[in-house]
């Protein structure tokens, strides 16, 4: 009996195997010619997804070394090309910017949630251009990259450092607090006010954004195999993601309604009223406008999501690196004492004098490479890149991580060495190969805000505190988690006030 079952199983396994092989051959024969190389055979339905490790970061770097400028992966039904070198990335995102500046429109959340592709981050074409130009103009008016905003950031830092001081040097995980403080900067811009750290509504909002970032990360399997959404329960977290999107949308519309009531064209002191003002101006021009309240709501989410987790994760990485390199932390403090002293908080004009700190931040951004694959772009026209064909509809991933870890570029990429960003006179050297904000038309909209936040937060933190591991003989590891934004593992830290 057992034998006959076994032989039946053998026959059926052979048939299934044969079927998969035939399908694989069929799909192979349909593969467009002269695509960048692939690391193995793509199976029907899943493509190369079966090859990916749970945290594929190392794999992506290894394939970059193996294949050079580009490699291709079939992600479910989508063809994705990964760009691994600076030259090819410049050719795509800058020289051929017309063809490589759209976003894919078949991501899970875009397909399953109405208007999800209307905001800054996921829109394409005229919609996107309009959101980007308007938002940049508003943020610049509020002083992005200028002193007015720096004052707001410095004020926020004073609340943040007071909270840190209250921990009395005891071990604590300060990730959430850091996240809330950075969120508060975005709150000041979008709503024109900050929230108290204990505010219930604010805590809930920040948690929702964090959850949305995690749930919608780059490796969300539903992006590639959306049919899995229909399985019972919520194994792939798609239902929860749509629920959060709904809650955020409700929150955004409530805020828009509330702020609209106090609209005063002579006092445009937050992003929402400034956008509404722009919307009204465009409406009066009798021409097609891409500004509307749906886009505004999406932009609010986008600015929160893109602008909070990224900056606070970078700050956390910097603190973690300092636990590993106390001599670097000491040198930063010495520079601060020499250039600013300890009596006044650092301001943005101090940046040109805190050269070593600036180099440390750059080295942390290179090593941590917190957005390892940037955001996905879409190729909107058949074209060629570095000698390969790139068909219209291909997803294009900038493998920023591979560039940041390239031996050819950095010589000793594994070593944490801030000096690589200083010349022999100690001046900061910007290097185009460092691109945590990506490049081209879709490069990070908040780059100058983020740089300002990183400098002001970190210089103030190192001026006021010494950061020590929770236990001297156990420094938390530099392990990188996988996701759209790659954080460290959670860790505790002691923030010891220097001049108590």
Instruction: Summarize the annotated binding site for heme as residue ranges.
Output: 444
Task: Check if the beta carbon of residue 363 is closer than 8 Å to that of residue 383.
Answer: no
Identity of the residue, 314 or 329, whose beta carbon is nearer to ligand HEM in the bound complex: 314
Which span sits near ligand HEM by CB under 6 A: 65-73, 236-244, 370-378, 469-477? 370-378
CB 373 within 8 A of CB 486: no
Residue 316: CB minimum distance to ligand HEM, A: 11
Nearest approach in angstroms of CB 95 to ligand HEM is 15
* Environment class of 328 (CB within 10 Å of its CB; exposed 0-12, middle 13-18, buried 19+): buried
Q: Least CB distance from residue 239 to ligand HEM, whole Å?
A: 26
Site string for ligand HEM, 338-367 (x = CB under 6 A): ------------------------------
Cβ 83 to ligand HEM, closest distance in Å? 11
- Judged by CB under 6 A, the chain residues 127 through 146 that form the site for ligand HEM are 132
Nearest CB to ligand HEM, comparing residues 121 and 362 = 121
396 binds ligand HEM (CB under 6 A): no
Q: Which of 311, 399, 464, 488 binds ligand HEM (CB under 6 A)?
A: 311
Vertex 307: Cα angle to 477 and 414 (nearest 5): 30
The residue count for binding ligand HEM (CB under 6 A) is 25
Q: Does 212 bind ligand HEM (CB under 6 A)?
A: no
d(CA 113, CA 437): 27
Tokens of 422: 């200083």
Q: Which of 375, 422, 475, 496 binds ligand HEM (CB under 6 A)?
A: 375
Nearer to ligand HEM by C-beta: 335 or 453?
Answer: 453
Q: Does 104 bind ligand HEM (CB under 6 A)?
A: no
The residue among 237 and 298 lying less far from ligand HEM, judged by its C-beta, is 298
C-alpha closest to that of 483 among 309, 322, 318, 367: 309
**φ, ψ (nearest 5 deg) of residue 286:** 60, 45
Among 445, 458, 468, 495, binds ligand HEM (CB under 6 A): 445
Q: Helices marked H in 262-415 — which ranges? A: 271-283, 293-324, 326-339, 355-368, 400-404, 407-410
CB 37 within 8 A of CB 69: no
Stretch that binds ligand HEM, among 3-11, 60-68, 70-78, 430-438 (CB under 6 A): 430-438
Q: In the set 89, 110, 120, 354, which binds ligand HEM (CB under 6 A)?
A: 120
Residues whose CB falls within 8 Å of the CB of residue 273, separated by 6 or more in sequence, listed in order: 192, 259, 260, 262, 263, 264, 267
Q: Tokens 């300890």 sit at which residue?
A: 342
Tell me: does residue 310 bind ligand HEM (CB under 6 A). Answer: yes
- Rounded to a whole number of angstroms, the minimum distance from the CB of residue 45 to ligand HEM is 28
Helix (H, G, I), strand (E, B) or coil at 106: coil
φ, ψ dihedrals at 377, nearest 5°: -110, 165
Question: Is 121 one of the binding residues for ligand HEM (CB under 6 A)?
Answer: yes
**Is residue 50 within 8 Å of residue 221, measured between CB atoms?**
no
User: Is the Cβ–Cβ distance between 93 and 100 less than 8 Å?
Assistant: yes
56 makes contact with ligand HEM (CB under 6 A)? no
Of all residues in this chain, which one has the CB nearest to ligand HEM in the complex?
A: 446
d(CA 170, CA 122): 42
Nearest-approach distance from CB 147 to ligand HEM, in angstroms: 17
450 scored as a contact of ligand HEM (CB under 6 A): yes
Cα separation of 237 and 219, whole Å? 12
Short-list 181, 187, 183, 179, CA closest to 162? 181
Does 302 interact with ligand HEM (rule: CB under 6 A)?
yes
Cα separation, 250 vs 241, whole angstroms: 14
Per the DSSP assignment, residues forming a β-bridge with 389 are: 384
CB 173, min distance to ligand HEM, A:
20
Least distance (Å) from ligand HEM to the CB of residue 343? Answer: 29
Contacting residues toward ligand HEM, per CB under 6 A? 120-121, 132, 302-303, 306-307, 310-311, 314, 370-371, 374-375, 398, 436-438, 442-446, 449-450
């Amino acid at each position: 009996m057992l034998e006959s079952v076994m032989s039946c199983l053998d026959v059926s396994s052979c048939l299934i195997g044969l079927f998969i092989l035939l399908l694989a051959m069929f799909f192979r024969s349909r593969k467009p010619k002269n695509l960048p190389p692939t690391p193995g055979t793509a199976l029907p339905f899943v493509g190369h997804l079966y090859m990916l490790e749970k945290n594929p970061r190392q794999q992506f770097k290894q394939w970059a070394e193996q294949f050079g400028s580009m490699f291709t992966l079939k992600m479910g039904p989508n063809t994705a090309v990964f760009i691994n070198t600076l030259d090819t990335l410049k050719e795509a995102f800058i020289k051929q910017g017309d063809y490589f500046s759209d976003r894919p429109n078949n991501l899970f959340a875009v397909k399953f949630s109405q208007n999800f592709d209307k905001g800054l981050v996921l829109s394409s074409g005229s919609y996107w251009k309009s959101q980007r130009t308007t938002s940049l103009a508003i943020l610049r008016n509020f002083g992005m990259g200028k002193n007015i905003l720096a004052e707001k950031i410095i004020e926020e830092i004073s609340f943040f450092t007071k909270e840190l001081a209250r921990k009395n040097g005891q071990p604590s995980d300060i990730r959430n607090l850091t996240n809330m403080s950075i969120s508060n900067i975005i709150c000041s811009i979008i709503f024109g006010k900050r929230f108290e750290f204990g505010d219930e509504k604010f805590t809930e909002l920040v948690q929702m954004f964090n959850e949305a970032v995690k749930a919608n990360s780059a490796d969300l399997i539903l992006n590639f195999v959306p049919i899995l959404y229909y399985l019972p329960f919520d194994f792939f977290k798609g239902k929860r993601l749509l629920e959060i999107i709904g809650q955020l949308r409700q929150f955004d519309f409530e805020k828009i309604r509330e702020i609209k009531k106090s609209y005063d064209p002579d006092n445009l002191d937050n992003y929402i009223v400034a956008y509404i003002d722009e919307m009204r101006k465009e409406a009066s021009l009798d021409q097609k406008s891409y500004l509307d309240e749906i886009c505004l709501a999406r932009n609010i989410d986008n600015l929160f999501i893109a602008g909070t987790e990224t900056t606070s994760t970078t700050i956390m990485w910097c603190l973690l690196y300092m636990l590993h390199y106390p001599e670097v932390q000491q040198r930063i403090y010495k520079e601060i004492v020499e250039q600013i002293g300890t009596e006044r908080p650092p301001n943005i004009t101090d940046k040109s004098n805190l050269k070593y700190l600036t180099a440390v931040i750059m080295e942390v951004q290179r090593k941590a490479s917190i957005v390892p694959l940037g955001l996905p772009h879409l190729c909107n026209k058949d074209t060629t890149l570095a000698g390969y064909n790139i068909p219209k509809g291909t997803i294009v991933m900038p493998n920023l991580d591979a560039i940041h870890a390239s031996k050819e570029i950095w010589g000793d990429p594994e070593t944490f060495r801030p000096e690589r960003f200083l010349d022999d006179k100690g001046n900061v050297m910007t290097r185009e190969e460092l691109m945590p904000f990506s490049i081209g038309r879709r490069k990070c909209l908040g780059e100058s805000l983020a740089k300002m936040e990183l400098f002001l937060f970190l210089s103030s933190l190192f001026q006021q505190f010494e950061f020590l591991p929770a236990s001297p003989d156990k420094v938390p590891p530099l392990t990188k988690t996988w996701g759209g934004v790659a954080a460290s593992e959670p860790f505790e830290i002691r923030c010891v006030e220097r001049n108590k």
